[in-house]
Amino acid sequence: MVNRTLGNRYQVTEKIGMGGMAEVYKATDSTLGRTVAVKVMLPQYASDPNFAARFRQEAQAAANLSSPYIVNIYDWGRDGDSYYIVMEYVRGTDLKTAIQQRGNIHPRKVAEIGSQVCSALSVAHGYDIIHRDIKSANIMVQGDGNVKVMDFGIAQAGHPGMTQDSSVLGTAHYVSPEQAQGKKLTPASDLYSLGIVLYEAATGQLPFDGPDVVSVAMKQVSDLPVPPRQLNPNIDPQFEAIIMTALEKNPDDRFATAKEMQRAIDDYLSGRSSAETQVLNHGYAAAGAGAYGVDQTTVMPTPGQTTIMPGGGRQGGMQPQQRNNTARNIIIALVAIVLIAGIGFFVANAAGLFGGGSATVPNVQGQTEQEARRSLTNAGLKVGKIKLDISETVEKGKVISQNPTPNSHVEPGTAVDLVISSGKTSSELVTVPNLKGLTASEAEQQLAALGLVGESKQDSSDTVEAGKVCEQDPAVNSQVEAGSKVTYTVSTGKKKENVLVPSVLGIGEVDAVSTLEGRGLSVSVDYESSTSASQGEVIRQSISGGTEVAKGSSITITVAVSPYPSEPTTPDTPGGDGEGNTGGDTTGGDASGGGEGDSATS
């Protein structure tokens, strides 16, 4: 594939990546002269019309999405037996590689990544596009720390017929329980996968692993993850609660939208103690995840199928009918036990054998979150809402107060809300100033005076003049720790519209100027004598045709004119011979026609 030109336009230079269904190459767009990334479908999938249709669907789906956190799609095509997608070339590394090289990443940085991915998903979900393959390998981290989500190759984009097949597409370590079971997907399915990514990045481990994709997918359906803070104690309880909410098995118990999850993450990043994250009664697994297994996008089986591995091999296992029968028998037995137990409880309770059916709320104040969870679970109660609050007396991570109060009598299964100490006194928190309308240097001065660290970026703005701050994060008046980073965006002015420069070579000056000005370009005209072009014809333009430039850019065209006539000579010209010729050291035109403006010197 290297050195091959796709579509008579994209010159492939090197291979830069490999996925489960495609390879990615670096290439040069010969028309626009820019570097691009080209994803080429693997031959074993190119012959399948369904995969070819999905490949085309990726280009169509992603091309409509406009977000600074989504890789731009430029083109799609077929060259011989090869299908390819041309996309933005992103300089950086994927998050999976970063985790493998560095281990766990600082939780606040993980949260920043999560917020940006939520922003990207919010845009996609707004177009009814479900990504279906959110994983760390599909998140590119750029040099400035910002991320770009890529690979919409198996996205579900309003084509129900294309997704209602007998296979489950995705990467086993990241698929949601409903995806592993072949059920209908919702935006919450992407949020589950993002929860896996955040867990992996913050702990350095995947929550579920196994010897093959089937066993991993089954764990996604039935197992509960080890709490992240057991693997990395530096994870804040509020951020752990966000991750665990995203990893709820029931889609209805997760965040309702990507925007809602982003708000929860931004509240955590801003240090807003008033932000509440609903955390349901998570059960926790007793053992951590093992080594990484297969992490490529695969076609996974729904019940009763054989796994198709990326290399074309097949993964065997228990016979489908045997597995289904075993599972059915277990379920029937469990249902029978539950029914018998329920009837027995009803009869006993009616007979007065139970003391009112109430539970006593234990006192968990002063306990760590994990200790409080165990105490409440042992008492037959659930953990309700968790929020952080400042406390001068209670150690960070321990319970300040609870509702219902200790020793009160409630129904079994009641949720108990907890307020946990953030361990910060008011003197340790800083109020984020309003930077909007300031220059970058003014913003830096204000932040430095408060002990905050500024980080600038640029973007266009229709309302704020160039050189002034138009956005900031965290928001104005947010309470953050001293030394926290505040990102502010400096306006570059109104967004410039790009236009494609037409070629006007060989056409008349008036038509050329009209054509270029019609594209919104500022035109200057130079003139040059020429014997090879017709007078008034454009012989050169400063910006080549086919180049993409900002609307309003300046362009100069050079128009041909006839050679200027030489200055005539007179008989009394000193040194003249009366025939129009000059000699000696006099400089002038050769009126005999022997040259065009050449000087004759002795």
Structure tokens at 594: 């022997």
Distance CA(381)–CA(363), nearest Å, equals: 12
Burial 32-42 (b: 16+ CB within 10 A, else e): eeeebbbbbbb
Given a contact cutoff of 8 angstroms between Cβ atoms, the answer to whether 370 and 229 are in contact is yes
Given a contact cutoff of 8 angstroms between Cβ atoms, the answer to whether 261 and 278 are in contact is no
Distance CA(146)–CA(140), nearest Å, equals: 8
Structure tokens at 437: 């309308």
Task: Please tell me whether residue 168 adopts helix, strand or coil conformation.
Answer: strand
Structure tokens at 471: 């956005």
Distance CA(379)–CA(250), nearest Å, equals: 24
| CA torsion angle 512 518 523 529 (round to 10) | 0
Torsion sign across C-alpha atoms 489, 492, 498, 503: negative
| CA torsion angle 8 14 18 22 (round to 10) | 0
Distance CA(39)–CA(56), nearest Å, equals: 12
**Cα separations (Å) of 361 from 306, 325, 376, 408?**
49, 42, 7, 5
For residue 404, whether the previous peptide bond is cis, meaning omega lies within 30 degrees of 0, is yes
Structure tokens at 462: 């229709």
Q: Which helix (H) or strand (E) holds 538?
A: strand 538-541
Q: Which of 398, 393, 319 is nearest to 365 (CA)?
A: 398
Given a contact cutoff of 8 angstroms between Cβ atoms, the answer to whether 281 and 387 are in contact is no
Catalytic residue (choose from 29, 48, 128, 133)? 133
Burial 507-523 (b: 16+ CB within 10 A, else e): bebeebbebbeeeebeb
Is residue 133 annotated as part of the catalytic site, yes or no?
yes
598 φ/ψ angles, rounded to the nearest 5 degrees: -75, 145
Q: Which of 588, 562, 560 is nearest to 575 (CA)?
A: 588
Q: What single letter denotes the amino acid at residue 532?
A: S
Given a contact cutoff of 8 angstroms between Cβ atoms, the answer to whether 203 and 231 are in contact is yes
Residues contacting residue 400 through CB under 8 Å, at least 6 positions apart: 365, 389, 391, 394, 419, 420, 421
Burial of 308 (0-12, 13-18, 19+ CB in 10 A): middle
Instruction: Please tell me the number of Cα atoms within 13 Å of 62 on its side-chain side.
Output: 29
193 φ/ψ angles, rounded to the nearest 5 degrees: -60, -40
For residue 474, whether the previous peptide bond is cis, meaning omega lies within 30 degrees of 0, is yes
Give the residue numbers annotated as catalytic, written as ranges.
133
